[in-house]
Amino acid sequence: ATNRTFTMIKPDAVKNGHIGSILAMITNAGFKITSLKLTQLTVSDAEKFYAIHSERPFFGELVAFMSSGPIVAAILEKENAVADFRTLIGATNPADAAEGTIRKLYATSMGENAVHGSDSDENAAIEGAFHFAGREQF
Ligand code: CMP
């Protein structure tokens, strides 16, 4: 079925000038952008967004990195959006990411891995609503 996922182009990829290339890969893969903005997470926003990881040893590093600079947030629509988007971005660790994936091309490390992709339909809806007001959703 047609459904939606949520993505962020993370601070590393924005800083390195990859917004346009990554959005082109996303739309060329058949995703329709239904919400889009350049924004920056506060520390508190990042702690809330990544609350599920709060007990992990890398939580502090993750929150600091994700609030360190502007990000691009977007909601994407496609047949089988969540799973197909995770295929397009590749493995969390760029060293393990398949050729041609966004992380293989643009990620620098496990932490600074260029893009986020929701892991379920339920989380896609929660994450999209976290970032976009009703009038920003199309
Ligand atoms: P993502 O899957 O988008 O969301 C959770 C993030 O935590 C993940 O991307 C990585 O960027 C980060 N992460 C996961 N494991 C580690 C780790 N071992 N060290 C640093 N960051 C990590």
Active-site residue numbers? 116
pLDDT digits (tens, 9 = 90+) for 37-81: 999 999 999 999 999 999 999 999 999 999 999 999 999 999 999
Label residue 29 left, alpha or beta by phi (over 0 means left) and psi (-120 to 50 means alpha).
alpha
Which residues are annotated binding-site positions? 10, 58, 86, 92, 103, 113
Which residues are annotated binding-site positions for ATP? 10, 58, 86, 92, 103, 113
User: How would you label 86-115 residue by residue, b for 16+ Cβ within 10 Å and e otherwise?
Assistant: bebbbbeebeebeeebbbbbbbeeebbbbb
CA distance 22 to 105: 10
pLDDT of residue 58: 97
80: phi then psi, degrees, rounded to nearest 5 = 55, 45
Q: How far is the CA of 57 from the centre of ligand 1 (A)?
A: 10
- Answer whether 85's CB lies under 8 Å from 31's CB: yes
Model pTM score: 0.97
Q: How far is the CA of 135 from the centre of ligand 1 (A)?
A: 31
pLDDT digits (tens, 9 = 90+) for 20-42: 999 999 999 999 999 999 999 99
- Hey, which CATH number is domain 2-136, 3.30.70.141, 3.40.50.150, 3.40.190.10, 3.40.50.300? 3.30.70.141
